[in-house]
Amino acid sequence: DTGVSQDPRHKITKRGQNVTFRCDPISEHNRLYWYRQTLGQGPEFLTYFQNEAQLEKSRLLSDRFSAERPKGSFSTLEIQRTEQGDSAMYLCASQPGPNTDTQYFGPGTRLTVL
């Protein structure tokens, strides 16, 4: 499968714990996005990378959230001191680069905070 992959697919954690998710974009896609989707809602933009540079962050991304893309390939999203309100599907999408429109989504990581 040469699509966007995410790991893990499911994560159950207790409130207060830290979690980290990984996203592997389609090879040579230099743009990478993170979205959060709660039940019954559309995805909401969290942050965007062009290569290794994080160029945009949503106000939804509190200081407990941090995202990295150290080598411009895979990306990680870490949530510290998780809260029940963090329970959601975290989606990653990649885009080839300039002059392209389509964002290709990964299967998501479903986080449940108990």
Partner 1 sequence: GENVEQHPSTLSVQEGDSAVIKCTYSDSASNYFPWYKQELGKRPQLIIDIRSNVGEKKDQRIAVTLNKTAKHFSLHITETQPEDSAVYFCAATLNTGFQKLVFGTGTRLLVSP
Of these, 95, 109, 111, 113, which contacts partner 1 (CB under 8 A)? 95
Is 74 a residue that touches partner 1 (CB under 8 A)?
Answer: no
What's the angle, vertex CA 59, arms to CA 57 and CA 64, rounded to 5?
85
**DSSP code, position 38:** -
Q: Which stretch binds partner 1 (CB under 8 A): 21-29, 48-56, 64-72, 78-86?
A: 48-56
Q: Does 103 bind partner 1 (CB under 8 A)?
A: yes
CB atoms within 10 A of CB 55: 10
Q: In this complex, which beta carbon is closest to partner 1, that of residue 63 or of residue 101?
A: 101
For residue 50, state whether it binds partner 1 (rule: CB under 8 A).
yes
Pairing of the two strands 10-13 and 109-113? parallel
Burial class (CB in 10 A: 0-12, 13-18, 19+), 33: buried
The residue within the footprint of partner 1, chosen from 7, 24, 44, 68 (CB under 8 A), is 44
Sequence letter at residue 41: Q
Chain residues in the site for partner 1 (CB under 8 A): 4, 31, 33, 35, 40-45, 48, 50, 55-56, 91, 95, 97-99, 101-108
